[in-house]
Amino acid sequence: MKVLVASRNAKKLEEMQRILREHLTDVEVLGLDDVAPYDEPVEDQPTFEGNALLKARAGVASSGLPTLADDSGLCVDALNGMPGVLSARWSGPPRGSKERADDRNNELLLAQLADVPDERRTAYFTCAVALVLPDGTERVVEGRMDGVITRAVRGSGGFGYDVVFEADDRPGVTTAELTPADKDAISHRGKALREIAPIVADLLR
C-alpha cells in the first residue's frame, strides 16, 4: 500500500509520516522526491482547503497514487486572521533557503506585533489535509491549535512560526521547544492527520 504525500518540506514530511504510521503500519509513505517530477500547481486558492485539494489532485494525476496534501498557516487575531494562506510568503516571495525565509517571516511578524499587548497576541494554527484517490474520491479534514505569539524567537525544533508560538495546551514553551511527540499530540497537523488516517485506511483496504 503506497500513499504519496505531496510535500518536499523534510520536517513536515517527517511529521506526517510519523503520525500516519501510528495508524497505518503497513503503508509506504512517499514524498515528492520519491516520484517522477511533475509541474506542481501554484497555491492560488483563497482557503487552506482549496490549496490542499489543488496539490492532492495534481499528485494523483501525475503519480496515479492515492495522495495526501496539506495546507496550513498561522492566523493572528490582531492582524485580522493574517498571514493565513499567505503564511509561507508573508515577507515576500521565497529567496534562498527555507530556513532563511522562515527567519524573515518571523522577524516581520514580531515587528508587526511589537506594540500589541500580551492579551491581544492570540493566534491559531490551522491545517487542512486533503486525500484524493485515483477513482476521484476526495476527503478533507481540518485541525486547529490555539495559542499566543511570543515577543521573541525561542527554540530550535519544528519549523515555520513554531519559534514564536506558544500553544494554549503547553503554556510557557514555544512549539519549537516541544519534543516531536509532544508537538504531534497537540498540533493542528497532528489533529488533522489523526482524523484522516483511519479514513485513508478504510478507503484503501
Q: In angstroms, rounded to a whole number, what is the distance separating the alpha carbons of residues 67 and 140?
A: 12
Residues facing residue 131 across a β-bridge: 68, 139
All structural domains of the chain, each given as residue ranges with its CATH number in brackets, are 2-204 (3.90.950.10)
Residue 151 counted as an annotated binding residue: no
146 given a catalytic annotation = no
Residue 11 counted as an annotated binding residue: yes
Over the chain, what is the mean pLDDT?
92
Residue 55 counted as an annotated binding residue: no
- pLDDT single digits (tens) 96-128: 677 788 999 999 999 999 999 999 999 999 999
The answer to whether the beta carbons of residues 27 and 21 sit under 8 Å apart is yes
- pLDDT single digits (tens) 131-143: 999 999 999 999 9
Catalytic residue, chosen from 33, 44, 71, 102, is 71
Mean pLDDT of 173-188: 93
Task: For residue 130, name the pLDDT band (cuts at 50, 70, 90).
Answer: very high
Q: Say what the pTM is.
A: 0.88
